[in-house]
Amino acid sequence: MGDNQGVGTPEDQALKGKHRAMWGMGDYPAVERTVIPGLGATLVEALGVRAGERVLDVAAGAGNAAIPAALRGADVVASDLSPALLDAGRAAADERGATLEWQEADAEALPYDDDGFDVVMSCVGVMFAPHHGPAADELVRVCAPGGRIGLISWTPQGFIGQMFATMKPFAPPPPPGAQPPPLWGSEDHVRELFGDRVADLRLERRTVRVEAFAAPEDFRDLFKEAYGPTIVAYGFNAEDPERVAALDAELADLARRYDHGGDDGVVMEWEYLLVTGTVR
């Protein structure tokens, strides 16, 4: 469990501005569509979202989980720090015939009443909020007693966790107090964050199969061009061609190590932690 850790201070607002800009870079919705198109629906299924339930998707991105929940007939609010992602989500919802609300919101300071939702969820979203304690506090606060919380987060040991480890030497130093996103994929960390406030806590490691790339370099090139954190790492080294080339090689090598060797291209299993529980 955490305190407010300076949420709302000028320094925090500057940090959130950087996060907002980062997730507006490139084309994260294209990354979602390419590598994890069904992951949000997996979370909605695990939570058993039903018609008529009030659902909040925190750090919803372009609606990977929010839209499947709305298509089940739930009353859904999709919140995210990035207006660009919300705009992409609105377009995707219109295309799929889903009706839901889209609202700009900080996962560490949600603009919603206590106990306002039957289900609060996040699919590889809230893990990127820099201060984990306040984010966990907010997930619990806005969920009604007896309501369900559900999360999917990349694990530290899995592919995306290792991608962040690979990029770390090339990335700008994190601001004081910010925590690594893949920590949300650690069972002990999640238990510590929620404490005794969430009952029936289930933590299950699963993998999602990724077969979108013909070669390891194709993975690297998509993330280099479309994924905000990777774009930031490349930008930080833009004046040093040798470091750019080294990052190019290391990201391609990472995909090569995880490739199971399919007949028609790269086949990878990306590990995530599925968390579900009931608010006391």
The string of pLDDT tens digits covering residues 6-34 is: 678 999 999 999 999 999 999 999 999 99
pLDDT score of 134 more than 90: yes
Q: What is the mean pLDDT of residues 234-254?
A: 98
- pLDDT above 80 (res 4): no
Distance separating alpha carbons of residues 148 and 222, to the nearest angstrom: 35
Instruction: Please tell me the pTM assigned to this model.
Output: 0.96
- 160 pLDDT above the threshold of 90: yes
For residue 23, the model assigns a pLDDT of 97
More confident residue, 6 or 255: 255
Q: Is the pLDDT of residue 3 over 60?
A: no
Q: Could you read off the pLDDT of 92-120 as tens digits, one per residue?
A: 999 999 999 999 999 999 999 999 999 99
pLDDT of residue 8: 80
Residue 269, classed as helix, strand or coil, is: strand
In this prediction, residue 263 carries a pLDDT of 79
The CB-based long-range contact list for 3-10 (8 Å cut-off, 24+ gap) reads 3/133, 3/134, 4/134, 5/131, 5/133, 5/134, 5/177, 6/131, 6/177, 7/106, 7/108, 7/109, 7/131, 7/134, 8/109
The percent of residues in the chain predicted with pLDDT above 70, rounded, is 98
Q: Read off the pLDDT of residues 49-106 as tens digits, 9 standing for 90 and up.
A: 999 999 999 999 999 999 999 999 999 999 999 999 999 999 999 999 999 999 999 9
Q: Percent of the chain having pLDDT more than 90? A: 94
In terms of C-beta density within 10 A (0-12 exposed, 13-18 middle, 19 or more buried), how is residue 109 classed? middle
73: which residues sit within 8 A by CB, 6+ positions away? Answer: 50, 51, 52
At residue 178, the 3 state secondary structure works out as coil
pLDDT band (50, 70, 90) for residue 2: very low
Query: CATH: 3.30.1490.100, 3.40.50.150, 3.40.50.10780, 3.30.413.10. Which one for 10-166+174-209+274-279?
Result: 3.40.50.150
| Domain map (residue ranges) of the chain | 10-166+174-209+274-279
Mean pLDDT (the chain, rounded): 96
